[in-house]
Amino acid sequence: MELLVASAIGILTAGGLYLVLRLRTFPVIMGISLLTYAVNVFLFASGRLTVGAPPVLRDSMESYADPLPQALVLTAIVISFGMTAVVVMIALGAYLGSDDDHVDDQPQDDTQAEGRS
């Protein structure tokens, strides 16, 4: 199982990094989503992998799962979900406003009068 989880994190991270390095907003946002999935699984595994063990301590308990990473990962999921929603909205606004979805700065003529307020 360690191999499975580790390679899943690795593949997600690699795919995410590749997509983040693209130049259009859509693949970059997809890449960020993959990266956040990878980090969520990574956080989950940071409390060691246990199968079928409850995350609650009782007197008669032989083995238990570390509950803290589960709480951490819940926070991380909520935050990354919200952030992704925000970036989708801003990117949509930028795309609809300028009809261009490049992430990088486009070369422009600096001497032109600027259009921003």
Q: Which residues bind another protein (CB under 8 A)?
A: 20, 25, 28-29, 32, 35-36, 39, 42-43, 45-48, 68-69, 72, 75-76, 79-80, 82-84, 86-87, 90-91, 93-94, 97-98, 103-105, 110-111, 113-117
Min separation Cβ 54 and another protein, Å:
19
Angle between helices 67-98 and 25-45 (to 10 degrees): 180
Q: How far is CA 111 from CA 37, 98, 102, 114, in A?
A: 44, 19, 22, 8
Amino acid in the structure at residue 58: R
Min separation Cβ 105 and another protein, Å:
6
